[in-house]
């Protein structure tokens, strides 16, 4: 019997480079090796109050991108989160045993409080509980998540174990973070801050269906600086972000050359961006 893998993506817009390297690239391998469930997380998207017409279009777009990138319905289960009512039922039961203090300590919730103070709804607070329901409803063992989701997965284990203990059962196994490479991936954005995110805006994000000219403009406008001025000097965060992106899409020879020459002058930043532009491809 194959182990169960569960993962989903929120339909809040087009898929981007972070979605691909953080999750989707692994999906293509996982569907060959595991009993895989990949869903479109429309319940999760409701925390940002999407227009119903926009949500429907986004769901259809994500489904099309799932299929275009290679997910095979003959090899895995693809479904819409809201089409499985048992998920909402389990979410209710798990919420009864999720405590305010532990939910308020979640890093992503605290980030949302700072970034969108006018929309701190209960769905944001209990996001980890719904994520736990998504996983536990299938008794998922392996969950391909990005580094920023590790805390949510730890809470899924907490909620599952608490349910087992309170109701004297062993119905829920402990899900574990998993990638094919066994290394969690964090894809930085282009604006020099944190991870690549649709919520950070167009300038921060490389979408999988960006036209070449749009892609060129985004990368050439990416935040950077002149780089280290002395050998061995640490890179600034924006420059390190560009190297992290290069590490995902470029060959090692190119990366080694740029690392050895970065201390020369600001022109190297333009070379770095140019290489990032022309070597980006799905691999």
Mean pLDDT per segment of 10 residues, for the chain of length 283 residues?
90 82 82 95 92 90 91 96 97 97 93 90 96 97 80 95 96 87 73 75 83 84 68 70 78 70 51 55 46
pLDDT of residue 184: 60
Q: Which long-range contacts (CB under 8 A, 24 or more apart) does 149-156 make?
A: 149/177, 150/177, 150/184, 151/106, 151/107, 151/108, 152/106, 152/108, 152/127, 152/128, 153/177, 155/102, 155/106, 155/128, 155/129, 155/131, 156/128, 156/131, 156/132
Distance (Å, whole) CA 257 – CA 242: 14
Q: List the domain boundaries for the chain.
A: 4-177, 198-279
Which residues make beta-bridge pairs with 143? 177
Q: How crowded is residue 135: how many other Cβ atoms within 10 Å of its Cβ?
A: 30
Write the CB contacts of 223 (distance below 8 Å, at least 6 apart in sequence): 190, 191, 192, 238, 241
Distance (Å, whole) CA 39 – CA 81: 6
* Nearest C-alpha neighbor of 45 from the set 70, 20, 82: 82
CA 47 to chain centre: 17
Map tokens 């770095």 to a residue: 272
pLDDT of residue 268: 47
**Residues annotated as catalytic (active site), given as ranges:** 112, 195, 198
DSSP code of residue 231:
T
pLDDT of residue 182: 56
Distance (Å, whole) CA 120 – CA 270: 40
Contact 159, 127 (CB under 8 A): no
3-state helix, strand, coil in the chain (%, to 5): 55, 10, 35
Rg value, the chain, Cα: 20
Q: How crowded is residue 209: how many other Cβ atoms within 10 Å of its Cβ?
A: 12
For the chain, report the end-to-end CA distance as a whole number of angstroms: 30
Any idea which fold 4-177 has?
A: Rossmann fold (3.40.50)
Angle between helices 150-166 and 107-115 (to 10 degrees): 120
pLDDT of residue 17: 85
Report residue 16 as tokens: 């981007």
Distance (Å, whole) CA 56 – CA 50: 10
């Amino acid at each position: 019997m194959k182990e169960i893998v569960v993962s989903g993506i929120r339909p809040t817009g087009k898929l981007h480079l972070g979605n691909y390297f953080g999750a989707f690239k692994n999906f293509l391998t996982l569907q060959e090796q595991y009993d895989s469930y990949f869903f479109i997380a429309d319940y999760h998207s409701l925390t940002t109050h999407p227009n119903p017409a926009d949500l429907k279009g986004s769901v259809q777009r994500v489904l099309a991108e799932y299929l275009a990138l290679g997910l095979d319905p003959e090899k895995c289960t693809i479904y819409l989160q809201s089409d499985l009512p048992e998920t909402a039922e389990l979410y209710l039961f798990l919420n009864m045993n999720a405590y305010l203090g532990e939910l308020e300590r979640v890093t992503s919730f605290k980030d949302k409080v700072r970034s969108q103070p006018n929309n701190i709804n209960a769905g944001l607070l209990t996001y980890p509980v719904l994520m736990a329901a998504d996983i536990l409803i299938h008794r998922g063992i392996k969950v391909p998540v990005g580094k920023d989701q590790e805390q949510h997965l730890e809470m899924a284990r907490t909620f599952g174990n608490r349910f087992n203990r309170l109701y004297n059962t062993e119905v829920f196994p402990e899900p574990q973070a998993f990638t094919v490479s066994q290394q969690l991936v964090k894809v930085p954005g282009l604006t020099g801050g944190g991870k690549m995110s649709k919520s950070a805006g167009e300038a921060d994000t490389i979408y999988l269906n960006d036209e070449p000219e749009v892609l060129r403009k985004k990368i050439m406008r990416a935040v950077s600086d002149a780089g280290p001025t002395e050998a061995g000097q640490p890179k600034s965060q924006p420059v390190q972000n560009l190297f992290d992106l290069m590490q995902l899409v470029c060959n090692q020879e190119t990366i080694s050359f740029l690392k050895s020459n970065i201390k020369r002058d600001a022109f190297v930043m333009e070379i770095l961006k140019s290489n990032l532009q022309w070597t980006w491809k799905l691999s």
